[in-house]
């Protein structure tokens, strides 16, 4: 019975991989060391600033389209895109820069959709 236990423990060690294998998580985590705190700070400021700028641009476009002869969907799309960009700016300020980038892209796409309806 002890031989069976030894083979089971050997099999579980092989399936998990050893610490010296090139696919171990320790090797992958070493790639992030090339970015320092200055790079993270720059990314946060960029995401926050871009989100704020796109929010202001979307709100200005929504107000301009609201006063003109555009369909009602156009200012709503600009305002919704501006709201998504404002959320991206908030996430960027909190350090969630990857999510902020994707939200900025989504917000601009919603604003572009509103522009295409016009």
- Contact present, 17 and 23 (Cβ < 8 Å): yes
Residues of the chain with pLDDT > 90: what percent? 53
Residue 70 inside a domain? The answer is yes
Residue whose C-alpha is closest to residue 47's, from 113, 105, 110: 105
Residue 61 inside a domain? The answer is yes
Mean pLDDT of 19-47: 68
Residue 21 inside a domain? The answer is no
- The 10s digit of each residue's pLDDT in 90-103 is 999 998 999 999 99
Q: How far apart are the first and last CA of the chain?
A: 77
pTM: 0.68
Residue 100 inside a domain? The answer is yes
Least confident of 40-44, 45-49, 57-61, 109-113: 40-44
């Amino acid at each position: 019975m002890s031989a069976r236990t030894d083979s089971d423990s050997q099999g579980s060690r092989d399936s998990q991989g050893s610490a010296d294998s090139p696919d171990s998580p320790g090797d992958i985590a070493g790639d992030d060391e090339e970015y320092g705190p200055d790079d993270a700070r720059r990314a946060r400021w960029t995401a926050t600033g871009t989100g704020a700028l796109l929010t202001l641009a979307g709100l200005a476009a929504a107000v301009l389209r609201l006063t003109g002869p555009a369909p009602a969907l156009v200012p709503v799309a600009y305002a919704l895109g501006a709201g998504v960009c404002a959320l991206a700016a908030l996430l960027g300020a909190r350090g969630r820069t990857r999510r902020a980038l994707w939200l900025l892209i989504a917000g601009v796409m919603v604003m572009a959709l509103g522009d295409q309806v016009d």
